[in-house]
Amino acid sequence: MHTDELATLDATAQAELVRRRVLSPRELVDAAIARIERVNPQVNAIITPLFEQARDAAAGPLPQGPFTGVPFLLKDLIAAYAGVPLTAGSAVLRNYVPAYDSELVRRYKRAGLIVVGKTNTPEFGIPPTTEPIAYGATRNPWDLSRSSGGSSGGSSAAVAARMVPMAHGNDGGGSIRIPASCCGLFGLKPTRGRTPLGPDQGDLMNGLVVEHALTRSVRDSAALLDATAGPDIGDPYYAPPQLRPFREEVGADPGRLRIAFSAHAPTGVAVHEECVRAVRDAAALCAELGHRVEEAAPVFDQVVLTRAFITLYAASAAKNMAAIEREGLTVRREQFEPITWALHEMGTQVNAGAYLLALQDLQRVSRDVARFFTTYDLWLTPVLAEPPLPLGTFDASWEDPLKGFFRAGELCPFTPICNATGQPAMSMPLHWSAGGLPIGSHFVARFGDEAMLFRLAAQLEAARPWADRRAPVSA
């Protein structure tokens, strides 16, 4: 089978070739490496190739898992891979090399995945675009002049360009769903506590952050979540257990769902007409499939949510600096990007009372939003208020270091809500703009109910398939 034919297959199909002994893991890995070498120079998605380690892994005994032999990419943020730098997109951490695998990576390996590289991310995952000074911008395969989103933009660009069938991501404000929307992929943010963050963390930013992946198919996302979900030893909390494997939800009848939709941003920012068109089109498709669809949105205090969210992000930036200093490194202003340092300085001014008050406010907003889901099963919104933006949109200077941070608020009025509430949410590639740019639709379910999302996602994928859509820059 030609390497370009393999590029059209999702991870489940590639694993089936290995199971049937049509191809070996080494052949899958070599084909992925060939695609990466051909396409990555144009998009700059992969910053740490791990080709020889991958070939060695493919040659040795592999666990018999759902993805045995399938090439995979790790985002260079949070997930530790023994012996490989973990830079978080920062030049300061170029030489930080963990000596262990994180629990999530151990689960990826048990699933049979073979890591062929690490992907680009903005410094500490802060802005919703992947343009770190240390490693350069990742370009969107649908238009090289535009952002691939962030903070999992390297992973999304690599999957969209068909270098690999799926890649790791994490989401603390939309960082899986944003790049999924920008690059025309399926991106699920699981329920808070669904996947592990150990051994280093019990949670991140009091539960804003959760780990999963960007995929081209719904079934890959479901099967990968089956392989990685569940508590780790010592976790402070975990998501409600699912009733059956998520993979079994794909293709199951979702029933007649009560779906609310809204194209208005809760922050009041203007939503681009293409994003409005995408969400209304998705709502119409859901109605055609027999679901009860009406225009509605939860009522909550957006000002309180925004203030609390900024408090946690600033405190997290200060925590990152403290962690670097604890490793024996010196922290100086000129070592970091303006947005990172400005948030750090803001975070050092957050006292204990303000931090706990922010947590209280987020919990109150979460209850307000949860009440909405006693009436509706799902809430449909745009993922973003704008189509993929030109590279450089979020550039900041020392004169205006938080310009990019507040510009992010204009782009992303929807996704952070689910990080605050902990609810699962997904970006679905159901619409492309007149100019050929992907525009995602955002579906939110009640806490712990990824099953409902997978059932609906599979139905929408069958009704409006996207697998044959190919980015102009792809293998």
Q: Which positions are annotated as active-site residues?
A: 75, 151, 175
Helix (H, G, I), strand (E, B) or coil at 427: strand
Helix extents (H) in 174-268: 177-183, 218-228
Instruction: In whole angstroms, give the CA distance from residue 459 to residue 289.
Output: 8
What would you measure as the largest C-alpha separation in the chain, in angstroms?
61
With 0-12 / 13-18 / 19 or more C-beta atoms within 10 angstroms meaning exposed / middle / buried, residue 41 is: exposed
Helix (H) or strand (E) holding 140: strand 139-140
CB 58 within 8 A of CB 114: yes
Helix (H) or strand (E) holding 455: helix 450-463
DSSP output for 236-253: S--PPPPSS-GGGGTTS-
What are the tokens at 201? 């963390």
Cα–Cα nearest to 11, from 85, 77, 69, 83:
69
With 0-12 / 13-18 / 19 or more C-beta atoms within 10 angstroms meaning exposed / middle / buried, residue 435 is: exposed
Helix (H) or strand (E) holding 168: strand 166-171
